[in-house]
Structure 1
Amino acid sequence: MQTSLTDRIPAPTLVLLAGFTVQLGSALAKSVFELAGPLGTVFLRVFLSAVLLLVLWRPRWQGARNHWPLVLAYGGALALMNTLFYLAIDRVPLGVVVAIEFTGPLGLAVIKSRRWLDVLWVTLAMFGVILLAPLQGSGLDPLGLGFAILSALAWAGHILLTQATGEVVPGLEGLAWGMVFASILLLPMGVGAAGTTLLDWRLLAIATAVAALSSVTYALEMVALRRLPVNVFGVLLSVEPMLAAAAGFLVLGETLTVRAMAAVVLISIAAAGAAKYGIPEVE
């Protein structure tokens, strides 16, 4: 039986690739907030992602039809998580938001942990997140921090719904139809916030690149979650604050402090340890 390219790539590598694509896309999206704001940008990103998925994968409705409540819930989680995240990075630096947002999957990892090694990797990652998120005396926008915390909760729900959808809906059909529903939910806010600015050529070009990156991200995550338990997936995502800091440096000109470098080391150790010792591979 033939296997696809993603079937041959180790599941931990898929998660890390997903983290890289989503953080690069987030940095690119933030760079055009002055054109359409966070609400206009998030709508355009999700809408174009849905278009790309429909064109490239041509999903059939038959596979998702019997599980449409789950697919709709998954689409709602996509819309909520992305909206809260974009509202947060509009007010707070990208690296800080991602560090706070990570507490969502980190919480899942703690709740679902069955092995002491999982707790060790989570603990190391938690210290890294604390170092990377200098909240005390930083003068960060309180509303932005609130959006980041809510985004963390939405991300945890998104992980659970991604896993549930991937288990019962074949291929990427659940992702494609979930993205379509998410774009419908975001349509009124996006058009209301940005109006005809959504047709700006620069915005469309960058939003298309962001949409392509986000589509790749969600596809990689869905494939990975078919082969990984949720707690291990959550630990592996601990590398995302490091990737966000790197994307912020490359795209937005943000620099790393010594404190951030220490966080990067801790988070990298946690991700590497989980990948080497904490992952039961599915045959």
Structure 2
Amino acid sequence: MTALPASRLPVPPWGLAVAAMLSVQLGSALSVGLISTVGPAGTAWLRLSMGALIFLVIARPPLRSLRRSDLPALLGLGVATGLMTIMFLAALERIPLGTAVAIEFLGPLTVAAVRGRSRAALVWPVLALVGVVLLTEPWGGTVDLLGVGFAGLAALGWAVYILLTQRVGDRFTGIGALSFTIPVAAATAAIVGIPQALGHVTLEVVIAAAGLALLLPVLPFALEMLALRRMTHTAFGTLMAIEPAIGLVLGLLVLSQTPSLLQLAGILTVVLAGAAAQRGGQRRTEAAAPAAPPSDLDLLG
């Protein structure tokens, strides 16, 4: 059966992007159970290792196109991915999912603000930042400072990840680069993850990690690539402002983490910012099918 081209898919591009974010946040929410068994670093190591195996099977590393000058960016991106995953899961062990996602999102928000070409372009990231503050509620007296610190480090890692993806995305297309970077991320997480998980890894744990790897990173990258064929990278990147809201909702549904009224106001704020940024972001039909597929690593450039 012939696959439909990206421009003829019945799902709108923003729907694919939102589905990718749902997969990411569902994978994060379901990781909480594994964290309680093998720890945050152990969960990161197992999930990334399963993801690395999947990518090695479905996308052979493009070794022939690899140049020595590519190694710093590839290794840096892999290390940043591994550290970002560990820090986020460590935050998730201590603070609610929506709060952790909101703080982590400050990384791409900062990059978006610095890269803005005009003052008008800063309106939507700034509005999303207001929503992030409402979701985080930093003025609350019961804030877990260590959890917030871990989420802040994850935000820094996400910012570095975005900067490195542009370099890698300029050199590799499709998912080939992931067969380089995800194994590096798994090896990075293994340094802390193996000692933390030692003695707790069972067949059930491995199966759970494999399932989580499908939710994050395998499925999101496939959906993101389809979305990026029909959206500008700027629209896609700012649309990600709704990710803290998705994290908050899934925290409520999956983890029974009840949001406050201010956090609900934060949801509305970031959704409005994301919707406004997405408006007019769909590519013209003639631009929707490039000669080479857009890089799955250049998600926010």
Could you say whether these structures have the same fold, taking a TM-score greater than 0.5 normalized by the shorter chain as the test? Answer: yes
Partner residue of 2:18? 16
User: Which stretch of structure 1 is more off in the superposition, 22-31 or 2-11?
Assistant: 2-11
Partner residue of 2:73? 70
Partner residue of 2:59? 57
SS in 2 for 1:32: helix
Partner residue of 2:136? 133
Report the CA distance shift for 1:52/1:8 in structure 2 as closer, same or farther (over 3 A): farther
Please say if 1:27 is aligned against 2:34.
Answer: no
Within 5 Å, give how 1:11-160 maps onto structure 2: 12-65=14-67, 67-160=70-163
What is the Cα deviation at residue 242 of structure 1?
Answer: 0.8
Report the CA distance shift for 1:24/1:222 in structure 2 as closer, same or farther (over 3 A): same
Please say if 1:178 is aligned against 2:184.
Answer: no
Instruction: Please tell me whether the aligned partners of residues 64 and 174 of structure 1 are also in contact (alpha carbons under 8 angstroms).
Output: no
Please say if 1:217 is aligned against 2:220.
Answer: yes
What is the Cα deviation at residue 226 of structure 1?
Answer: 7.8
Report the CA distance shift for 1:207/1:266 in structure 2 as closer, same or farther (over 3 A): same
Instruction: Please tell me whether the aligned partners of residues 113 and 231 of structure 1 are also in contact (alpha carbons under 8 angstroms).
Output: no
Partner residue of 1:240? 243
Report the CA distance shift for 1:114/1:76 in structure 2 as closer, same or farther (over 3 A): same
Partner residue of 1:164? 167
Instruction: Please tell me whether the aligned partners of residues 28 and 210 of structure 1 are also in contact (alpha carbons under 8 angstroms).
Output: yes
Report the CA distance shift for 1:260/1:103 in structure 2 as closer, same or farther (over 3 A): same
Letter in 1 for 2:220: T
User: Which stretch of structure 1 is more off in the superposition, 238-247 or 249-258?
Assistant: 249-258
CA-atom RMSD, angstroms? 2.5
What is the Cα deviation at residue 5 of structure 1?
Answer: 5.2
What is the Cα deviation at residue 162 of structure 1?
Answer: 2.1
What is the Cα deviation at residue 51 of structure 1?
Answer: 0.6
Instruction: Please tell me whether the aligned partners of residues 109 and 230 of structure 1 are also in contact (alpha carbons under 8 angstroms).
Output: no
Partner residue of 1:256? 259
Q: In the aligned structure 2, how far is the partner of 1:137 from the partner of 1:196?
A: 38
Letter in 2 for 1:135: P
Structure 1 portions without partners, runs of 5+:
none
Report the CA distance shift for 1:180/1:4 in structure 2 as closer, same or farther (over 3 A): farther
Instruction: Please tell me whether the aligned partners of residues 6 and 230 of structure 2 are also in contact (alpha carbons under 8 angstroms).
Output: no
Q: In the aligned structure 1, how far is the partner of 2:229 from the partner of 2:76?
A: 19
User: Which stretch of structure 1 is more off in the superposition, 21-30 or 50-59?
Assistant: 50-59
Partner residue of 2:208? 206
Whichever structure has more helix as a proportion of its residues is: 1
What is the Cα deviation at residue 218 of structure 1?
Answer: 3.8
Q: TM-score, normalised by structure 2?
A: 0.84
TM-superposition CA deviations, 1:120-176 (whole Å, max 9, x none):
212221111111111213312211111111111110111222232122112211112
Letter in 2 for 1:245: L
Report the CA distance shift for 1:85/1:20 in structure 2 as closer, same or farther (over 3 A): same
Q: In the aligned structure 2, how far is the partner of 1:193 from the partner of 1:250?
A: 29
What is the Cα deviation at residue 276 of structure 1?
Answer: 0.4
Report the CA distance shift for 1:186/1:8 in structure 2 as closer, same or farther (over 3 A): farther
What is the Cα deviation at residue 244 of structure 1?
Answer: 0.4
TM-superposition CA deviations, 1:183-202 (whole Å, max 9, x none):
1222231111111312x233
The total of aligned residue pairs comes to 280
Letter in 2 for 1:20: L
